Amino acid sequence: MLRAALFAILLFSDSSRASTGDENVGFTWSSGDRSTWDILRSCLVILLSCTWTVLHLNIPSPNQQSWVASRRKLKWMLITIVAPEVTCSIALRQWLESRAATVKMRELDKSWTIVHSFYAAMGGYVLEREDVRVPLLMPEIITLLEISRSSTKEDDGPSFKLPPLTRDEIEDRSKSNDFAKLFTGIQIGWLVIQCIARGVNRLPVSPLEITTVAYALCTILAYFFWWHKPFDINIPTVVTYHGALPDSFKQASKGWVDRVNRQRVRMTTRIIVRGSQHSMFLNLVLPLFAFSAIFSVVHLIAWDFEFPTLQERNLWRSCGLMAVVAPMIIAISLQIASIWDPAASDNEHNSRKRSVAAAPEIAALVIICYFVSIITYAAARTALTFEVFYCLRSMPARTYQTVACVNYLPHV
């Protein structure tokens, strides 16, 4: 409540404009150069194309209806718009796990590539057992292959083989729309070039365009991590195994029966080997909040931009700084808290649990910092998003002047 009241006071109080003396104008819907609608249209097109093409979702459940798949796509589009750092961290996590799986699988199959690892991690291999199909996790595939490899030809034990599936065949199943990605890349390039050209010519750039650049940066990062992941595959590859399932299968999925009943593949892949990660902080917590800070720091480019009022410029600066610092405080708080968690200290090199007792005052301080940082980050991001559109009501007239050379570049 206090934050909301402070925001209202700063935003709507009477004050002088934070500008360089240039006259401010309101909404400009028709102009010889560019208008408010041109800015809105180009930025919204880039945002929608980025969120649509960047999402490489896992293979849906066999019994999932088409409208459910569309709803899932829209849900993740909304998540990407609200928190693009979540999508980036998921992409990074899947990329790291697929790389590790590729190294392990190449010891069993020389033709295995990172595309195969992504395909397996997204639910590409489904085990058909007793008229029930369940997706195989990557560590389960490795386990079954190792069991089959350890058995001799004279053994009558069960064997497990993956169907021969080349990289080209997997990519052929992918519905990746190269034209859509090319279109998105052209729009991102046009936006970046325009912002740079406007800066060189000392023309104002709207906060909405700076925010769109931040989204574009997150999209490029996710593109990099998901470059080899198939796109929009709906039909998995069926494999069979009639032997007894190892106990590790039940431990990996909260029970085999539970996973059969749910019949779904989660967006986030699981850790290949529980103890293989040297630090959960470095592989999960730090990337998530690092991407949050990267997304927020782009907003600080508008530090000296011209805002309708001095209070709005100060609000943008303060919220931008809070959005950069708060994720780091959250990450540090989680790392400190993990020291007191006995389960967090278990790894393949140290099987003995160790627990560090914390003073109540220190524990309370860490908890307070954690929750206060989360609230601060959410409030700062909300204020920045609101101010991005609210500033359109009054911007310097030179904001609507165009750079002649940029108009010749293809864009929408």
Q: What is the side-by-side order of every strand in the sheet holding 132-135?
A: 132-135, 125-129, 237-240
Cβ(123)–Cβ(141) below 8 Å: no
The residue assigned the tokens 């919220």 is: 319
Length of the chain: 412
Q: What is the mean pLDDT of each run of 10 residues along the chain (412 residues)?
A: 38 39 72 80 90 86 74 89 89 89 87 90 81 77 80 60 84 76 87 87 89 92 90 84 69 50 40 37 71 90 88 92 88 70 45 48 75 90 92 86 66 59
Q: Indicate whether this model's pTM tops 0.85.
A: no
Give yes or no for a contact between 39 and 335, defined as CB atoms under 8 angstroms apart.
no
Distance CA 289, CA 112 (A): 33
pLDDT of residue 67: 78
- Please answer whether residues 393 and 26 qualify as being in contact, where contact means their C-beta atoms are separated by less than 8 angstroms: yes
- Residue 126 near residue 237, CB atoms below 8 Å: yes
Token couple for 75: 């849900």
Residues 88 and 125 sit within 8 Å (Cβ to Cβ): no
Helix axes 286-297, 360-390, angle to 10 degrees: 40
SS3 396: strand
Q: What is the largest CA-CA distance in the chain?
A: 89
CA–CA gap between residue 153 and residue 393 (Å, rounded): 77
Ramachandran category for residue 202: left, alpha or beta (phi over 0 → left; psi -120 to 50 → alpha): left
In angstroms, what CA-CA distances link 76 with 52, 115, 130, 242, 273?
Answer: 9, 22, 33, 37, 27
Question: Can you give the residue ranges of every domain in the chain?
Answer: 23-408
What Rg do the C-alpha atoms of the chain give, in angstroms? Answer: 26
Measured distance CA(339)–CA(316) in Å, rounded: 36
DSSP, collapsed to helix, strand or coil, labels residue 152 as: coil
Contact assessment for residue 376 and residue 330, using Cβ atoms and an 8 Å cutoff: no
Select from 235, 226, 258, 269 the least CA-distant residue to 163: 235
Residue with tokens 């997997």: 170
Residue tagged 């945002």 (tokens) = 47
Among candidate residues 134, 121, 138, the one with its CA nearest the CA of residue 230: 121
